[in-house]
Amino acid sequence: MKIDSHHHSWDLAKNSYPWLRPEHGLLNRTFCPEDLEPLLRAAGIDGTVLVQSANSFEDTRAMLEHASRSSWVKAVVGWVPLTEPLIVERVLEVFGVHPKFRGCATEFTIPHMP
């Protein structure tokens, strides 16, 4: 089985992505897992891991919703504010019940793009 271990998606109509600006050109549009699926199939990739695209619970929820609908989304790495231990505990209780939730990161940034 071949897995794409790091994939981002975002929906500009549903969530805020402060790092995503017009100067990012082709990236500055909604990009959902469904956009990736035919490319994965063509490349012989069996599944992917969705990784946070925003520092928000909404982004994590959206990824888990996609994972619930897509057998080829194998896992989700969401966001939690690791500097807030009480919040982390609660978030892990809530998101941790999802069978595809595998972990969390504390911050997403995109490198400066020329």
Give the model's pLDDT for residue 19: 87
Q: Whose CA is closest to 59, among 113, 18, 2, 110?
A: 18
Give the model's pLDDT for residue 108: 52
**Higher-pLDDT residue of 87, 100:** 100
> Which residue ranges form the domains of the chain, and what is each CATH number?
3-105 (3.20.20.140)
Q: Which residues pair with 10 in a beta bridge?
A: 31
What pLDDT, in 10s, does the model give residues 29-70?
999 888 999 999 999 999 999 999 998 899 999 999 999 999
Say how far apart CA 36 and CA 39 lie, in whole Å.
5
- H/E stretch holding 47 reads strand 47-51
What pLDDT, in 10s, does the model give residues 8-29?
999 999 888 888 889 988 989 9
Q: Look-up: residue for tokens 């100067």?
A: 23
Say how far apart CA 50 and CA 3 lie, in whole Å.
11
